[in-house]
């Protein structure tokens, strides 16, 4: 296979430092292939990251993702239509309890989350509704004050 294995081993150890400078494993493999394919011919230029073959530097192309069911569905006539929202998100739940009069009494954001979890079987995180609560305060749908625990409480304006 190799005439002088020890000499080849020494050369490979020296080349390993240069080849390992490339971050892409594909480039590293391509360089090793080029070295072994041209084992009989001597190269005069040193191997550097800048002299990597352009085919080895390019990223592989990806297949485009399939459209999700929510993006659009075709009905029987072949026309694409948007899927209607189910309206079961955290903001929709907040709007629902607002319309039902839940904010007649001052409620903290923790109270709102607990109410939704216990009475509506909807687990809501405070960060999911804090933005909507702020918008409702700015639009004067709700008012916000601090309670004795120095927490904000929301009530009907």
Domain presence at residue 85:
no
Split into its structural domains, the chain has a count of 2
Let me know whether 97 and 145 are in one domain.
yes
Q: What is the CATH number of the domain that holds 139?
A: 1.10.10.10
Mean pLDDT of the chain: 79
Residues 82-111: what's their mean pLDDT? 86
Last residue of a domain, one of 57, 78, 101: 57
Q: Is the predicted pLDDT of residue 44 greater than 50, yes or no?
A: no
Let me know whether 94 and 50 are in one domain.
no
Residue 106 belongs to what domain range? 90-156
Let me know whether 143 and 100 are in one domain.
yes
Q: Is the predicted pLDDT of residue 152 greater than 80, yes or no?
A: yes
Domain presence at residue 139:
yes
Contact in structure between 107 and 153 (CB atoms under 8 Å) = yes
Higher pLDDT, 126 or 61: 126
Q: Is the predicted pLDDT of residue 131 greater than 70, yes or no?
A: yes
Domain presence at residue 131:
yes
> Cα-Cα-Cα-Cα dihedral of 21, 24, 48, 9, to 10°?
70
Q: Who contacts 22 (Cβ-Cβ below 8 Å, separation ≥6)?
A: 28, 31, 49, 52
């Amino acid at each position: 296979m190799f005439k002088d294995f020890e000499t080849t081993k020494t050369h490979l150890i020296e080349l390993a430092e240069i080849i390992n400078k490339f971050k892409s494993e594909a480039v590293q493999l391509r360089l090793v292939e080029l070295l072994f394919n041209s084992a009989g011919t001597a190269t005069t230029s040193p191997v550097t990251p800048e002299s990597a073959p352009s085919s080895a530097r390019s990223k592989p192309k990806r297949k485009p993702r399939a459209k999700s069911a929510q993006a659009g569905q075709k009905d029987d006539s072949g026309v694409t239509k948007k899927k209607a929202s189910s309206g079961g998100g955290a903001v929709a739940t907040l709007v629902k309890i607002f319309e039902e009069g839940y904010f007649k009494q001052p409620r903290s954001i923790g109270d709102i989350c607990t109410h939704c979890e216990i009475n509506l079987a909807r687990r809501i995180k405070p960060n999911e509704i804090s933005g909507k609560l702020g918008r409702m305060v700015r639009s004067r749908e709700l008012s916000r004050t601090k309670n004795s625990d120095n927490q904000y409480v929301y009530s009907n304006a």
